[in-house]
Amino acid sequence: MDKKIVVLAGDGIGPEITSATVVTLNAVAQKFGHNFEYDYRYMGGSAIDKFGVPLPEETVQACLASDGVLLGAVGGPKWDAQPAENRPEKGLLGIRAALGLYANLRPAVIYSELADASPLKPSVLAKGVNVMVVRELIGGIYFGPRKELDDGKTAYDTEIYSEEEVRRIAKVAFDLAMTRNKKVTSVDKANVLLSSRLWRRIVIEVSKDYPEVELNHMYVDNAAMQLVKDPSQFDVLLCPNMFGDILSDEASQITGSIGLLPSSSLGTCKAGLFEPIHGSAPDIAGQDIANPIATVLAGAMMLDNMDLHEEARAVEKAVEKVIALGYRTPDMGEGKRVGCAEMGRLIAENI
């Protein structure tokens, strides 16, 4: 299969972690007989240096025409003095809007060999953790009407959802559940909020098209508690924007590791955006010590979005194998010490 992948290496460790990931994608292409074509474009600080803006129009057009966008990370002290409207992060917000990315997916997985890094007790982790948080990304209270009144002494924001906004994100969650353990927990506050009642009604409606998937509902306060009490009970956690913002950070902290977790944002065009959850780590840039695993796993999420599921599982299994063999970048603790490029090469070798 031919696929066109835009690579936005970005800033800081971005070029190192994306190039290690391309090595693993090449191994996938070779093993499964695909042809991946890479289109390298600029976004963030590197785009400011070259084009004067964080998101050149030609980058947007290339992303729109691609099958998937792999992003390293953007930002760094070099561009801190830029005016707010021209900062590297503006590139990220701009590309999300341009691609209509309404669904943010963040898996949180515990690798048993790295369980020591988790703040939770081994007894809580014993049953394993493999949660996929599906967060609605461009609706809800962050985008509803807001105002300051009485010279700023009073203010309001509005949680607002339409049936269509809930339906499309619910479909993403149920489709994902079908490729996983067929369980969706929908988070809301339907005992208090009207918008949550609408959310719950539409989620139930969508669930009827997925009779194999078990659906349950959980109030957000209980979900926050259950995530640390027994994270093994969750498969797909479907959340409105603000609840998902909070719970996805909580879920990622359970795994205890910033260098291992990927995320994807999906939307109205075929290309999603796939990136690590961490930033550009300027403190370790250019030293070949960054952990590329989060970006490699973001690459696996991109393969899933291209319907290359077997290929995605092969990448995940290779990562598990390399961790089980004891290879560690410095952030992962004691073990057979490897750098960023070597970690990418080892994962590729095990695909």
Q: Does the annotation count 219 as an active-site position?
A: no
Q: Does the annotation count 221 as an active-site position?
A: yes
Q: Which is nearer to ligand NAD, 27 or 281 (CB)?
A: 281
Q: Does the annotation count 189 as an active-site position?
A: yes
Among 139, 140, 231, 259, binds ligand NAD (CB under 6 A): 259
224-236 as b/e: b if 16+ CB within 10 A: beebeeebeebbb
Separation CA 69–CA 261 (nearest Å): 17
Q: Does 75 bind ligand NAD (CB under 6 A)?
A: yes
The closest of 50, 53, 47, 38 to 5, measured between CA atoms, is 38
CB of 264 to ligand NAD, least distance (A): 12
CB of 36 to ligand NAD, least distance (A): 22
CB of 190 to ligand NAD, least distance (A): 32
Beta bridge partners of residue 134, listed in sequence order: 105, 238
Among 92, 220, 247, 347, binds ligand NAD (CB under 6 A): 92
Q: How far is CA 288 from CA 221, 257, 281, 337, in A?
A: 41, 19, 12, 12
Angle at 67 between CA 274 and CA 2, to 5 degrees: 125
Task: Specify burial of residue 35 (Cβ count, 10 A radius: 0-12, 13-18, 19+).
Answer: exposed
CB of 255 to ligand NAD, least distance (A): 14
Q: How far is CA 152 from CA 156, 158, 159, in A?
A: 10, 17, 20
Q: Does the annotation count 157 as an active-site position?
A: no
Q: Does the annotation count 142 as an active-site position?
A: yes
Cα 321 off chain centre by: 22
Cα 143 off chain centre by: 20
Its sign, for the CA torsion 133, 123, 115, 25, is negative
Size of residue set near ligand NAD by CB under 6 A: 21
Q: Does 106 bind ligand NAD (CB under 6 A)?
A: no
Q: Which is nearer to ligand NAD, 21 or 196 (CB)?
A: 21
CB of 251 to ligand NAD, least distance (A): 17
Angle at 182 between CA 300 and CA 186, to 5 degrees: 95
Rg, C-alpha atoms of the chain: 20
Footprint of ligand NAD on 3-42 (CB under 6 A): 13
CB of 289 to ligand NAD, least distance (A): 7
Q: Does 258 bind ligand NAD (CB under 6 A)?
A: yes
- From the list 188, 235, 245, 304, the catalytic residue is 245
Q: Which is nearer to ligand NAD, 176 or 281 (CB)?
A: 281
Note the residue count of the chain.
351
Per-residue x/- marks for ligand NAD, 260-299, CB under 6 A? ---------------x--xxxxxxx-----xx--x-----
Q: Does 196 bind ligand NAD (CB under 6 A)?
A: no
List of residues contacting ligand NAD (CB under 6 A): 13, 73-76, 89, 92, 258-259, 275, 278-284, 290-291, 294, 331
Active site residues: 142, 189, 221, 245, 249
